[in-house]
């Protein structure tokens, strides 16, 4: 759109789900767009470590921007997942009341869901709760069904959005942290750890780093607090015990601990909720583990007779306000997309849509391109549909799909090869794990780690 080839139209900072969704939408126009990510991979921040629920938005605060964008994102991402092959399972959720007080709260929660435009909730008695989830511990009094809540692959979601963006012509720069900006009269210089980028507009989708970048534009309007959520992952043998997502009745202390099936065929319990100061503290803690074992054992005692195969933690970018903070500063040609705390996996595509509505009033020309490439088709790493090792015809056509590298997760040499040759290839083992599930099983790479590392090295 602009006549100077050195100056991009838009730089999007942060290639998590939100930044990737924004870059994808802008890539569908004639604008020149660069997506800059400080880490070595897309989706290596909060977007890689969450509870991976596709939320209906039934429990959001009615009337907020978050409530509107989660409800919209639920439909947008649900449809996109089908189009590009992001694994989703429509398991539904059951919110369980364990005390009289919690039981009394259920009608209010159903009413809140209706005020959020979600009308499918139903209050059920204790016997129906046990019919739906027989392995729950004793003492459940009643429940609220949320049939639309679903589980989704957060890794494939992020990768699909970023891949789509790159295929649409977005320039992706990984491993380049933005350290400063210099705002000039016609364009801004974005200073990164790997040089400078000249751009007309900057969109800040930096998650945990969004307040720092905001300050570089002269603002002091919010502070990000990293709110750690730790989770336990159980062995695949436990999956039949958890046919749907089991939620707690929310309290003033938060949403509580949930038990959920995962898209990879496991069960997870969590998350904790703990405000920290260190924005890099994604390690798990002994206290978190103790807390989850205590809570989880009360919810489903028999689950805790089974093996925990992994623990992980993610950091919510909690802001000192109760809603998303999306703001366009036309004078500085700058957009803040902040405060996307605990629902951004679901809402990311709706945030991008909302933002393009706001940008329509600026000097950016958002006319859709006529020559859009088709959306990508992502490799399936979900457990509910056929994986390459199960596909006899595919193996007959290409025996690499029959050559298993990771026996825990049944990941084949063909899938690793495809990841190495993909639009956004992995740069490290963790990136390869997010693309294929390799080393993600109960041995955590003990058996396949060395071989996988050698394959990655050879592909470089
Ligand atoms: C425990 C937990 C459970 C959750 N559960 C759910 C759920 O079930 N459903 C749901 O919808 N949401 C959930 N969420 C929320 C969801 O994960 C986040 O809202 C979403 O991932 C935020 O995406 P993002 O793109 O804003 O941030 P991120 O994924 O963190 O992306 C921001 C990116 O910006 C990069 N960056 C930062 N600073 C700079 C810089 N200066 N220069 C360059 N790059 C930079 C970072 O490296 C990062 O990759 C959960 C979150 C947590 C922690």
- Same domain, yes or no: 61 and 6: yes
For residue 280, which phi and psi values (nearest 5 degrees)? -115, 5
Cα 12 to the chain's mean position, in Å?
A: 18
What is the per-residue burial (b if ≥16 Cβ within 10 Å, else e) of 127-164?
Answer: ebbeebbebbbeebbbbbbbbbbbbbbbbbbbbbbbbb
Q: How far apart are CA 209 and CA 13, in angstroms?
A: 10
Which pTM does this prediction carry?
A: 0.97
Q: Which residues, in sequence order, are CB contacts of 449 under 8 Å at separation 6+? A: 429, 439
- Same domain, yes or no: 369 and 392: no
**To test the ligand 1 pocket, which listed residue (11, 12, 13, 14) has its Cβ within 8 A of the most ligand atoms?**
14
CA-closest residue to ligand 1 atom 25: 16
Query: Mean pLDDT, 10 residues at a time, over the chain (460 residues)?
Result: 75 98 98 98 97 97 97 98 98 97 97 97 98 97 98 98 98 98 97 98 98 98 95 96 96 85 97 93 93 93 95 92 95 97 96 97 95 97 97 98 97 98 98 97 91 94
Give me the pLDDT at residue 321, please: 85
- Are 339 and 205 in contact by the 8 Å Cβ rule? The answer is no
Give me the pLDDT at residue 2, please: 52
Q: Is 196 helix (H, G, I), strand (E, B) or coil?
A: strand
- Same domain, yes or no: 308 and 448: no
- Same domain, yes or no: 229 and 130: yes
- The residue segments making up the domain with residue 131 are 89-150+225-319
Q: How far apart are CA 171 and CA 192, in angstroms?
A: 15
- Are 438 and 428 in contact by the 8 Å Cβ rule? The answer is no
- Residue pLDDT, tens place only, 423-432: 999 999 999 9
Q: How far apart are CA 245 and CA 92, in angstroms?
A: 6
Q: Which CATH number is 160's domain given?
A: 3.50.50.60
* Ligand 1 centroid – CA 228 distance (Å): 12
* Ligand 1 centroid – CA 127 distance (Å): 39
- Same domain, yes or no: 32 and 116: no
User: Ligand 1: residues whose CB is within 6 Å?
Assistant: 13-19, 36-39, 44-47, 50-53, 55, 177-178, 205-209, 213, 229, 271, 314-316, 340-346
Give me the pLDDT at residue 6, please: 86
CA-closest residue to ligand 1 atom 12: 343
Q: How far apart are CA 175 and CA 423, in angstroms?
A: 16
Q: How far apart are CA 422 and CA 81, in angstroms?
A: 19
Number of domains in the chain: 3
Give me the pLDDT at residue 4, please: 57
- Same domain, yes or no: 235 and 314: yes
* Ligand 1 centroid – CA 271 distance (Å): 15
């Amino acid at each position: 759109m602009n006549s100077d080839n050195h100056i991009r139209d838009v730089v999007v900072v942060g290639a998590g789900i939100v930044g990737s969704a924004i870059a994808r939408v802008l890539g569908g126009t004639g604008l020149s767009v660069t997506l800059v990510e400080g880490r070595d991979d897309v989706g290596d921040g909060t977007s890689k470590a969450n509870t991976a629920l596709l939320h209906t938005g039934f429990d959001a605060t009615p009337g907020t921007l978050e409530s509107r964008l989660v409800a919209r994102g639920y439909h947008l991402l649900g449809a996109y997942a089908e189009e590009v092959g992001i694994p989703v399972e429509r398991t539904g959720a059951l919110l369980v009341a364990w005390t009289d007080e919690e039981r009394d709260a259920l009608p209010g929660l159903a009413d809140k869901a209706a005020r959020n435009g979600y009308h499918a909730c139903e209050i059920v008695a204790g016997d129906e709760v046990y019919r739906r989830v027989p392995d729950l511990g004793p003492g459940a009094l009643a429940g609220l069904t949320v049939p639309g809540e679903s589980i989704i692959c957060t890794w494939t979601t992020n990768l699909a959005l970023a891949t789509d963006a790159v295929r649409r012509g977005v320039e992706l720069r990984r491993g380049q942290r933005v350290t400063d900006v210099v705002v000039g009269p016609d364009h801004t210089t974005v200073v990164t750890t790997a040089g400078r980028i000249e751009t007309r507009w900057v969109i800040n989708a930096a998650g945990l780093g969004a307040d720092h970048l905001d300050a570089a534009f002269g603002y002091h309007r919010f502070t990000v607090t990293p709110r750690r959520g730790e989770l336990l992952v159980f062995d695949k043998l436990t999956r039949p015990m958890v046919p749907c997502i089991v939620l707690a009745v929310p309290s003033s202390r938060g949403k509580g601990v949930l038990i959920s099936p995962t898209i990879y065929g496991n069960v997870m319990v969590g998350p904790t909720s703990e405000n920290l100061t260190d924005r890099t503290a994604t390690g798990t803690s002994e206290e978190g583990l103790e807390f989850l074992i205590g809570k989880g054992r009360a919810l489903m005692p028999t689950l805790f007779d089974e093996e925990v195969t992994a623990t992980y933690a993610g950091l919510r970018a909690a802001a000192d306000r109760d809603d998303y903070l999306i703001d366009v500063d036309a004078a500085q040609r700058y957009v803040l997309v902040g405060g996307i705390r605990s629902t951004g996996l679901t809402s990311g595509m709706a945030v991008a849509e909302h933002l393009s509505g706001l940008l329509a009033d600026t000097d950016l020309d958002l006319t859709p391109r006529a020559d859009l490439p088709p959306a990508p088709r992502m490799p399936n790493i979900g457990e509910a549909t056929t994986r390459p090792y199960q596909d006899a015809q595919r193996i007959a056509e290409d025996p690499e799909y029959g050559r298993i590298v990771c026996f825990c997760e049944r990941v084949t040499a063909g899938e690793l090869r495809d990841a190495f040759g993909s639009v956004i290839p992995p740069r490290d083992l963790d990136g390869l794990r997010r693309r294929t599930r390799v080393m993600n099983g109960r041995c955590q790479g003990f058996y396949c780690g060395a071989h996988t590392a050698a394959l990655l090295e050879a592909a470089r």
